[in-house]
Amino acid sequence: MLKGVIFDLDGVIVNTVHLHFDSWKYLFATVHGLPFTMKDYDEKVDGRPRLDSIRLLLPHLSEKEVIAAGEVKQKRYIELLNEKEIEQFPASIKLVKELHNKGILLAAASSSKNAKYIIEKINLTSYFTAIISGYDFTNGKPHPEIFLNAANALKLDVKECIVFEDAMLGVQAAKAGNFYCIGIDRNNHPSHYTQANLVVKDLAEVDYDRLSQLIANK
């Protein structure tokens, strides 16, 4: 029986990918002179905790320098967030509100440490029972800790939850935790979602009734 839904944030509820990409490119290309493309973002950054991405792409840095680099990226990202309006996916917002009205418990689970700030800024805080951010777990995706913590915060078993993810590492993390996972392939990368139970282009393709049926037939 469906009792909880766990939403990744970036790429699922809001479209902040371009802001993340610009702030990462500022760090890697402008500050450190390392070429950085969207392919690098998709394969080496998206879904990973911030410091893990820096360790991967700038392995010569000391741990102190890694932390400092993370602060540079964070500062630039917050500047961009405050300069621009946050784009929201209308179908995702509609689904959040529908599920909440049906009594389904909702959690947001994001590797970003800015998750609570973003949800507050788009006025969705009251819809979520739990918000799990980069401050709330130790092991980054594809480890399932982030989603297990979200289910625990909702006081639900993983079998009672569905996870929505747009990133390959996020799908892998959800499946590692034995969740039913719906992958959102907005950019036509089917190879990123081979482990997902269902793949959609947008959350307009699902609603409360369909999600309830999916979890019942799991």
Domain ranges within the chain, ordered by starting residue: 4-15+86-216, 17-83
- The pLDDT assigned to 209 comes to 97
Confidence of residue 148 (pLDDT cuts 50, 70, 90): very high
Residues carrying an active site annotation: 8, 10
- The pLDDT assigned to 84 comes to 82
- The whole-model pTM stands at 0.86
Encode pLDDT of 174-187 as tens digits: 999 999 999 999 98
Block residue for tokens 């009205």: 101
For residue 6, the SS3 value is strand
- Where do the H-state alpha helices sit in 62-108? 63-83, 90-101
Q: How far apart are CA 164 and CA 180, in angstroms?
A: 9
- The pLDDT assigned to 85 comes to 85
Tell me the backbone φ, ψ of residue 210, rounded to 5 degrees.
-70, -40
Encode pLDDT of 58-101 as tens digits: 999 999 999 999 999 999 999 998 888 899 999 999 999 999 99
Mean pLDDT, the chain, rounded, equals: 95
Neighbour-count burial of 55, counting CB atoms closer than 10 A to its CB (0-12 exposed, 13-18 middle, 19+ buried): middle
- The pLDDT assigned to 76 comes to 95
Residue 24, pLDDT > 90, answer yes
CATH class as words, domain 4-15+86-216? alpha beta
Q: How far apart are CA 52 and CA 150, in angstroms?
A: 21
